[in-house]
Every structure is written in structure tokens, then in C-alpha cells.
Amino acid sequence: MMDTNFDIKCTFPTILVTGGAGFVGSNFLRYMLPRYQSYHFINLDKLTYSGNSNNLFDIDQYKNHHFIQGDIGDPNLLDSIIRDYSVDIIVNFAAESHVDRSIKDPGIFIQTNVNGTQVLLGSAVKHGIKLFLQISTDEVYGSLQDEGVFTELSPLAPNNPYSASKASADLLIRSYSNTYGLPFNIVRFGNTYGPSQHPEKLIPMTILNALNDQPIPIHGQGMSIRDWVFVKDNNAAINTVLHSGKRGEIYNIGSGEEKRTIDVVHYILEILNKPKELIRFIEDRPGQDYRYANYPAKIMNELRWKPEYQFEEGLHLTIEWNMKNKDWWKHTNKVLG
């Protein structure tokens, strides 16, 4: 049974998107809504600091989108949503996602990313959900040195509370598939960037601080290396797995655009014509991972997805969006520094 796909091309499914007011979730809805107007999207988000209702201003125009404010950790709410809206598919974006915050307060990451996922899985099994699609991260694999890449067969070796909580959720999903027969897919993507990303993340923080001539804090000497994926490429990959993925499989999403943190910051400062003297090197975070490199050969070869955006193009689009949407990021109350 796990080798067959739920053929959503021939039906009109209802998809519960959790965390749909966050960065990746709202961009996913923005990608999907105009393409699949016969589908019904239920958007459940708690609207914590990273869930921004402003992300929904251009989404609410779609009649096939319905927003509900609520917590994935509330089993009664989940049961009522899945039952009342006849939900077929769950796409779980809901998560606490910032490494620094996880180091300061690991408990909330366990509560949302582990316990919340478990509650969501329980409702999925109870109501016979046809597909549980988990949005995960390459950080569950730990850290690489200068050589090698992450594949779907790489062992899980998380090095901080955030990545450990995401790895735990992935393992729970696997166990619910094996124990209860829940159909699932997991996608693990590299560092995603693009419009409407919370300014605690490197790229929007650098853009906004530079525009305001504020110091730009960089951990250590900025030598850590990440694989950068533009959010539209990420959306397309998730959609590909949703429609064509072999159930019970994990797919890495990567771009091959590996960049050092310091080089990313230099690119942004050069585009904005801002001085490098804005950079402030600060103490490296505990347990900092050196390098991530997510190898997407499986999704490229089996499902024919490939990234369309080169890093420089995606970065220019992200900068342009932030410059044109200053009212959006002012909700965060301050520019990080």
C-alpha cells in the first residue's frame, strides 16, 4: 500500500496546511492557491511571533482558502477541523525553527515540534488521513566537513535542540507509518530564503540592518557553509512530492548553492552599496554546525524536479521585496542587532 500514491489529480482534496502563516507555509499557499483552485486549503496557524497575519493579506482573496487560528497541540481542535472539513491531506509546516532560540529555550521546541507533531499524527491516524507530508530540514543530519553530502540514507545526527526536535518528529512519523499504516512523505530542505522571512534569519536580518545602517552580527568569523534554496524552488519541490512522491519516502531538497555566511553578507552589502564595517563578529553559537550540503539527486532523478533560481537571482528578488515592503517587517518591532 505504501508504494501507491493518493491520486489527488483526479479528486478535489481538502488539504490542511499547518503553520501556513509562517514564512515557508505562506509562500507555499501563495504558490498553490492559484494553481489548484479546485482544491480546498485549510490554514491552521497559532500566530506566534513567526506566524504573521500580514503574510495572508494577498491569500485571503482566494475562495478556496480558509484560515483558522489555533495550535497543532490541541487534539479537540484538530479532530473538529479534520472531521468538519473532511480533510484528506496534512502538510505540516508548523514548527519553532530558530537555532538560537532553541539553545535559549529548548522546551518550546520540544512542545511544538515533537509533542505538537505527535498530536497531529494521532488525529491523522484517527481520521484516516490519506497523506501526511512533513516539512523537515537538512539539519537533522548534523554537520559535514569540507567533503561529502547529505543523502536520504545519511544517519540522523542532530547537534542542537532545534534539529533534535525535528529529527524526533521525523522518527515519530516513521513509527506511525510502521505501526498504524499512516501514508507519509518527508521533505528535508536546505537553508530557505526569500520574501516575507522573519528578520531573525541571516538574509533578512542582514538586509534590514544594512538598510538602517545598523550593525550586522555574525557568529564566529562567518565561516559556516549552507546550501541556499530559494523559497519558490522549495514550494515547487514540495508540490512535486505532494503529487508524485512515492509514499513512505524521504526527499532531500537542495540547490547546490553552497555559500559561507560571511560571503552571503558581503553579497548583500555589495548590492545595497553598504560598507563591510557594519559587520560585527560575535561569539559563535554553541555547537555550531560547520557545513550542510543537501544532495537532491533522488527528487531530481525520480520526480524530475530541479531548482530554477540561482542564488544571486533569488537574493536580488529577496532584497527587492524587503525594500518594497517595509510596512510588513515593522511588525517585528525592531531590526535585529
User: Which is the catalytic residue, given 39, 141, 162, 176?
Assistant: 162
Residue type, 24: V
CA dist list (Å): 298 to 3, 33, 68, 212: 16, 27, 35, 42
User: Which is the catalytic residue, given 45, 71, 139, 289?
Assistant: 139
Maximum distance among all Cα pairs of the chain, rounded to whole angstroms: 58
**Sheet containing 258-260: order of strands:** 191-193, 225-230, 258-260
Rounded to an integer, what distance in angstroms lies between the CA atom of residue 14 and that of residue 24?
19
The answer to whether the CB of 141 falls within 8 A of the CB of 157 is yes
Alpha helices in 44-156 (DSSP H): 75-84, 99-104, 106-109, 117-126
Tell me if residue 138 is catalytic. Answer: yes
Tell me if residue 283 is catalytic. Answer: no
| 3-class DSSP assignment, residue 166 | helix
User: Which is the catalytic residue, given 71, 96, 138, 249?
Assistant: 138
Tell me if residue 320 is catalytic. Answer: no
Task: Just list the catalytic residues.
Answer: 138-139, 162
